Amino acid sequence: MTWKHVGLAKVHRLFYPQVAVVVTVEATGRVGAMPASWCIPLSFNPPFAGLAIASEHEIYKMIVEAQALGINWLDYSHAQQIGELGEISGSEYSNKLSAVELTTISSKTTSQPIIREPSAALECRLHHRVRFGTHELMVSEVIDAHAADHLCDYWDFSKYTPLLYAGTVDQQGKCWVFMSGRGTTARMPFKHQT
């Protein structure tokens, strides 16, 4: 096999494809939401989830304010909405989710918004923050978890089609690339940014 050097600025792309979750939060009367793929479990018991996020994002400040957040899994049928959600800025909308026609309900444990339409959702309390380079790792304790019927002990992938993020590629303009895990790929040109 021929090997080649990969520039360090592109290292994160080796991790693709990654499931895109949607992080949700309410603070100071506004609802924030952002797709994220730098998100993994960090512990079984208590269940902790780690989310690495740049602190410049509006939603970062909102999570620090609320000390809580929701983590939501939307399936591949929502690719268009999730791409658009990744483009619009929290500073321009009092409710980013309604801007892409998603609705929320209030989490029982944290009073934070979770999406009404998802395949699964976690109610989380912020536990710890630690900075590494350009991003901050936000560690949350999962307080409660819900899922659609197509999760039993594991996801039933004959019913649940995951939304896998595979990057934003410059090819006749920027576009979101999502994979279904079933051999199909959605390429959606940016609507809001040039």
Written as six digits, the tokens of 84 are 């658009």
Closest CB 58 distance from its own copies, rounded Å? 19
Stretch of 25-33, 57-65, 89-97, 169-177 lying at the interface with its own copies (CB under 8 A)? 169-177
- CA distances to 79, 93, 120, 180 from 158, rounded to whole Å, are 18, 36, 16, 12
Query: What amino acid is encoded at 161 in this protein?
Result: T
Which residues, 45 to 64, sit near its own copies by CB under 8 A?
A: 45-50, 52
| Interface with its own copies, residue 173, by CB under 8 A | no
| Interface with its own copies, residue 188, by CB under 8 A | no
* CA dist., res. 29 & res. 26, Å (int): 7
Query: What amino acid is encoded at 80 in this protein?
Result: Q
Query: What amino acid is encoded at 38 in this protein?
Result: W
Among 28, 29, 91, 153, binds its own copies (CB under 8 A): 153
* CA dist., res. 54 & res. 129, Å (int): 12
Closest CB 2 distance from its own copies, rounded Å? 5
Residue among 166, 183, 162, 184 at smallest CA distance from 175: 166
* CA dist., res. 190 & res. 194, Å (int): 7
Residue 90 per-residue DSSP state: G
**What 3-state DSSP class applies to 55?**
coil
For 143: left if phi > 0, alpha if psi spans -120 to 50, otherwise beta; the answer is alpha
Which residues, 7 to 46, sit near its own copies by CB under 8 A?
A: 7-19, 37-46
- Between 59 and 177, CB nearer to its own copies: 177
- Between 54 and 92, CB nearer to its own copies: 54
Among 30, 125, 129, 135, binds its own copies (CB under 8 A): 135
Among 142, 163, 176, 186, binds its own copies (CB under 8 A): 142
Stretch of 2-10, 25-33, 57-65, 80-88 lying at the interface with its own copies (CB under 8 A)? 2-10
- Between 27 and 164, CB nearer to its own copies: 164
Closest CB 30 distance from its own copies, rounded Å? 25
Among 6, 98, 173, 193, binds its own copies (CB under 8 A): 6
